[in-house]
Amino acid sequence: MISVKPKRAVKYLNLISETARGLGIRLYAVGGCVRDWAIGLESQDADFLTVDEAAPLAEALKEKLGGGFTVFREFRTVRYFTSDGTRIDIAGSRKENYPKGGRALPVVAPGLFRGRRSRPQEISPVIRLAVRA
């Protein structure tokens, strides 16, 4: 069983899950917060993945919780801050292509993680810890 810390995160997880469900958005907890919760540590932020668009969820969260968000369209990501300063990142699933020529940032397109340059260690927690929508 996973223990979500700090306790305020439980409130946000429930609100985010309910909001995503109401919008028909499939949402998954991912990344460092999942790792921290799995080993009993406190996480200072939360990261989510959706196969849908992230911005409509951030807009709905802002209506419910206040705060604000920034959309990073080129990366299909939204960074949302609650009114108490909690950071929540919501990323749309994406394919990343790293063109030749030394470009540091990937070219991003909608899709699922695939290929040799994807990071399967980050996919496993997504599959196991789905927030039901």
Q: Show pLDDT as tens, one digit a residue, over the chain (133 residues).
A: 566 666 667 778 888 888 998 999 888 888 888 888 778 888 878 888 888 889 999 999 999 989 999 999 888 889 999 888 888 999 888 766 667 766 666 666 666 544 444 444 444 444 334 444 3
What confidence score (pLDDT) does residue 37 get?
79
Max intra-chain CA distance, the chain: 46
Q: What is the pLDDT of residue 110?
A: 63
What is the pLDDT, as a whole number, of residue 32? 82
All domains of the chain, ordered by start, with CATH?
7-131 (3.30.460.10)
SS3 of the chain: helix, strand, coil, percent, to 5: 35, 25, 40
Residues 86-116 as b or e (16 or more Cβ within 10 Å = b): bebbbbbbbbbeeeeeeeeeeebeeeebeee
Q: What is the pLDDT of residue 10?
A: 72
pLDDT at 75 (0 to 100):
80
